[in-house]
């Protein structure tokens, strides 16, 4: 249970600190790429995003104010979802073009052509998305 709470807190902190912005600036950072993709896949699964919005309560205390103000988590997730979606559309277009050139290739070929080293799950998600199955269907 403690590990699950740690994972959920990690997702919240990643989004609050806008760590996806660091990935936008440095696309070669594989660790940030994998984290962004994992968090995105968790949030888009079924109604997880709605659950996060309903169940994550944040408060902001600003200096001399007597009370902390409640802040909606949805204020932070929108930027992350938009950024990741924009990135994914570009990657999907690139992969679709590669698939046209190599229609019967194995995942290894696509991974090499896309420049992915540790992003095999992301590749499988993209392939399934191109096939109309959905991002998390390969699991």
Instruction: Tell me the per-residue pLDDT of 44-71, one tens digit each, with 9 for 90 and over.
Output: 999 999 999 999 989 988 887 788 899 9
Say if residue 49 is exposed, middle or buried (CB neighbours under 10 Å; 0-12, 13-18, 19+).
middle
User: Do the beta carbons of residue 121 and residue 37 sit within 8 Å?
Assistant: yes
Radius of gyration of the chain (CA): 18
Domain ranges of the chain: 2-130
Which residue is it, tokens 């991002």?
135
Q: What is the pTM of this model?
A: 0.84
Q: Under a CB-based contact definition with an 8 Å cutoff, are residues 118 and 29 in contact? A: no
Average pLDDT over residues 82-105: 95
58-79 core/surface letters (b: 16 or more CB in 10 A; e: else): eeeeeeeeeeeeeeebeebbee
Q: Is the pLDDT of residue 139 over 60?
A: no
């Amino acid at each position: 249970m403690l590990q699950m709470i740690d994972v959920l807190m990690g997702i919240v902190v990643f989004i609050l600190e806008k760590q996806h912005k660091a990935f936008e600036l440095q696309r070669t950072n594989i660790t940030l790429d994998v984290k962004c993709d994992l968090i995105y896949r968790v949030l888009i699964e079924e109604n997880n995003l709605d659950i996060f919005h309903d169940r994550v309560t944040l408060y902001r205390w600003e200096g001399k104010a007597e009370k902390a103000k409640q802040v909606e988590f949805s204020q932070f997730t929108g930027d992350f979802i938009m950024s990741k979606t924009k990135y994914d559309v570009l990657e999907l277009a690139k992969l679709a073009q590669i698939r046209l050139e190599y229609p019967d290739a194995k995942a290894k070929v696509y991974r090499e052509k896309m420049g992915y080293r540790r992003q095999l799950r992301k590749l499988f998600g993209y392939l399934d998305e191109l096939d109309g199955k959905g991002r998390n269907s390969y699991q």
